[in-house]
Chain A
Amino acid sequence: MASCSCGKKPVYERKYEGNSYCASCFKAQFEKRVKRTIREHGLVGKNDTIVVGVSGGKDSSVVLMLMKKIFGKRPDIRIIAVSIDEGIRNYRDKSLEVTKKLAKRLGVEHYTAGFRENLGKGLDEIMKRSHEKLNSCTFCGVFRRYLLNRAARELGATKVCTGHNMDDEAQAVLINYLKGDAKRLARMGPNPSIAKNGKFIPRIKPLRDVPEKESALYAILAGAGNYWGECPYVSGIRFEVRDFLNETETRHPGTKFSFLRTFDSMLPVIRETAKKTKKEIVECGICGEPCSGSVCKVCGLLDKLGIKLERHGQFSIEKTR
């Protein structure tokens, strides 16, 4: 077992580099890499109010800790943590407790926006009542993104920060390739998503250049105290793609990294192609949120699930005391 360059016992071997790291060198190197991602892609600017989406899992806990560590002393930058409560018993309630503790420990304001309060039903109720075979991750993801964006707008945020890591990004790129979704591919990439409509808050992903395993290791070594539970509803193509990428990475270290770099270098061409079929952004005929059709994805899915928006136009968000 090779030692760290400082001579201490290693906790991690980065196979695609051939280097081993002790706990303190690993943490320092991890933080350096996240700072580089933020700097290189201009993820944070002067006077930014950043809403960090925190689920209580390892990645969002790590990104909240790091945003606070890196920008906590900047008087012009405000960090706010927001959790989305999907209403999953014995899962989200547990992770929310962990999130509240972390936010308190870091001295970060924390808010919660719920499915039930804003969409009429929680995920448990939706899954129980649904007669259709639905992929819960598909509509849960749409609703979560919508609520996080709404929360960010309510709180006056200029950026929405998420804990998406290299694995999440590589999986999303491959899924969009497999589905032939060039439009969605064009919206990806390392730079903050550009707001074409004032209602969309640009999204940033500071962990995009770190593999999932490294994010988990940092969470443990830095004492994030995060929740390790798994959502009871996980399903869909993402998990097949995840396993495929992990198996390939084990046999060919560096695969995920080079796959994402290749995608980034092709992005200008993909964006140019997607422009040709781009639709104009209009307002949803039901809720007024920006969308590219007559009805937004959230309202379309709610209709499919037989849910009528009872609190049209209103938004409920609770501050943690």
Chain B
Amino acid sequence: MKIKIELAGKAKTTETTSKTVDALLKELGINSETVIVSVNGEIVPETGRLKENDSVEILKVVSGG
């Protein structure tokens, strides 16, 4: 399915087979401990489900000084 991903200020539309936020983060090689994810503007836990045309925003939250 096709979803829109926004990560570190960059947005892209991509094909994925991931059906949950957790699976998507694994697919992208992102540790779930380090980010907060919003789907269609709403913050969701990693168990949150994804569907066609969802807009996913991934915010990096680990400190860097």
- A positions within 8 Å CB-CB of B: 1-2, 9-13, 20, 23, 57-59, 137, 140, 167-168, 211-213, 216-217, 220-221, 228, 230-231, 233-234, 242-243, 246-247, 249-250
Contacts and interface: CB of A to CB of B under 8 A. Distances in A.
A11 B43 contact: yes
A217 B31 contact: no
Contact of A249 (B33, B42, B65): B33
Contact of A242 (B36, B47, B59, B62): B62
A230 B64 contact: yes
A1 B43 CA distance: 13
Contacts of B43: 11-12, 23, 217, 220-221
Contacts of B14: none
A10 B45 CA distance: 7
Interface of B: 31-34, 36, 42-49, 59-65
A13 B46 contact: yes
B64 A11 contact: no
18 contacts: A1-B44, A1-B45, A1-B49, A20-B45, A58-B61, A212-B63, A213-B36, A213-B61, A216-B36, A216-B59, A220-B36, A220-B59, A228-B59, A228-B61, A230-B64, A231-B65, A246-B33, A250-B32
A57 B63 contact: yes
Contacts of A59: 63
A277 to B, nearest CB: 31
A230 B60 CA distance: 10
Contacts of A247: 31
Nearest to A231: B65
A154 to B, nearest CB: 25
A246 B32 CA distance: 9
B44 A11 contact: yes
B61 A231 contact: no
10 smallest beta-carbon distances between A and B, as pairs = A231-B65, A230-B64, A216-B61, A13-B45, A246-B33, A11-B43, A234-B65, A1-B47, A234-B64, A246-B31
Contacts of B44: 1, 10-11
Contacts of B59: 216, 220, 228
Nearest to B65: A231
Contacts of B60: 228
A137 B64 CA distance: 10
Given A9-B42, A213-B61, 6 more contacts: A1-B49, A213-B34, A217-B36, A242-B62, A243-B31, A246-B31
B50 to A, nearest CB: 11
Nearest to B25: A250
A102 to B, nearest CB: 17
Contacts of B31: 243, 246-247, 250
Contacts of B36: 213, 216-217, 220
A92 B47 CA distance: 36
B58 to A, nearest CB: 12
